[in-house]
Amino acid sequence: MVQAYCVKCKKKGQDMKDPTMNKTARGGFMAKGKCPDCGTTMCAMMSKDNAEKAMEEGVAKNF
């Protein structure tokens, strides 16, 4: 699972619900999904290797 920090719940290492990979304007990769507890949108910046690994494993959808 892709993990991120939820700003609303203040919980570290929350597993994202339905993460999708996005490419930023500067060429980086970002996973975007929902918090399983409160439903707030969560984002996690990722390296290209980690983003590709998450997509290969079927954890995240392609961008």
3-state secondary structure (DSSP) of residue 34: strand
Number of domains in the chain: 1
pLDDT in tens, 25-35: 999 999 999 99
Quick check: 2 pLDDT over 90? no
Question: First vs last Cα of the chain: how many Å apart?
Answer: 17
Residue 51, in any domain of the structure = yes
Strands 17-23 and 41-46: unpaired
**28's tokens:** 């980086």
pTM of the full predicted structure? 0.77
Residue 7, in any domain of the structure = yes
pLDDT in tens, 3-45: 898 989 888 888 998 899 989 999 999 999 999 989 899 999 9
Residue 8, in any domain of the structure = yes
Residue 63, in any domain of the structure = no
Task: Identify the domain containing residue 26 by its residue range.
Answer: 3-56
Residue 46, in any domain of the structure = yes
Q: Indicate the helix (H) or strand (E) that contains 8.
A: none
